[in-house]
Structure 1
């Protein structure tokens, strides 16, 4: 009986641990932490479903290649839904958030608010750091 209990314990799922490189949550976290994914979540959350060109304009600075890559990753992860209306000429392709995508987009609100609130402080810290390290490199 003790052996059966032991095997039940070993087959039970282990808790997720982002800091463990072998944890399956790690690669999901890495995808989500990508700057373009975060910015796309914000754009789709605020602007709703968008065409490819609308997304590219809203994300200012993203290349076509990176936009395509990011959309594919997000679609694969179940965050974005690509829909095609073949009746339109040319066919109308739209990208929107899935339920899972809307959930994580909502979770990014606090990070966005903090970033907008504290960006000036971070830039001041960077400038102070750069000044300290420029002086120490001259020695």
Structure 2
């Protein structure tokens, strides 16, 4: 297999941009952010319970924490409707949609290379022949 070099960065970065990149990678690399991002991208505006049901196997506490962090970062917008019982909806902001578009490449890569990655993992687990 041939080794390929990564493409060069498009331009010099600043320490502030570098820090933001590290923070965004840390955020999306957690267990839930990418799943919530994908769910809101696919389904649009959702109520809290709908979002939790679609994400699956996430506690209300963790869903709340993740949504608050995404809202803090400007990725998600939370809308509270003044009705009884309270109605709270979440949707992606323009920033969230642009992040989703950027991450679409990861899903495309995974679809394209799934079999090769599975073969590599199987080969790694198989002890070499004597």
TM-score category by the smaller chain?
0.7 to 0.9
Matches within 5 A, 1:85-100: 85-87=81-83, 89-100=84-95
- Cα displacement string for residues 2-28 of structure 1 (whole angstroms, at most 9, x for unaligned residues): xxxxxxxxxxxx72464xxxx344223
Q: Which has the larger radius of gyration?
A: 1
How many residues are paired up?
A: 116
Structure 2: tracts of 5 or more residues without a match: 1-12
Distance 1:83 1:43 in 2: 17
Partner of 1:80: 76
Structure 1: tracts of 5 or more residues without a match: 1-13
Structure 1 stretches of at least 4 aligned residues deviating more than 4 Å after TM superposition: none
Q: TM-score, length-normalised on structure 1?
A: 0.71
Name the Cα RMSD after superposition: 2.3
Distance 1:61 1:114 in 2: 26
Higher helix share: 1
Q: TM-score, length-normalised on structure 2?
A: 0.75
Partner of 2:117: 122
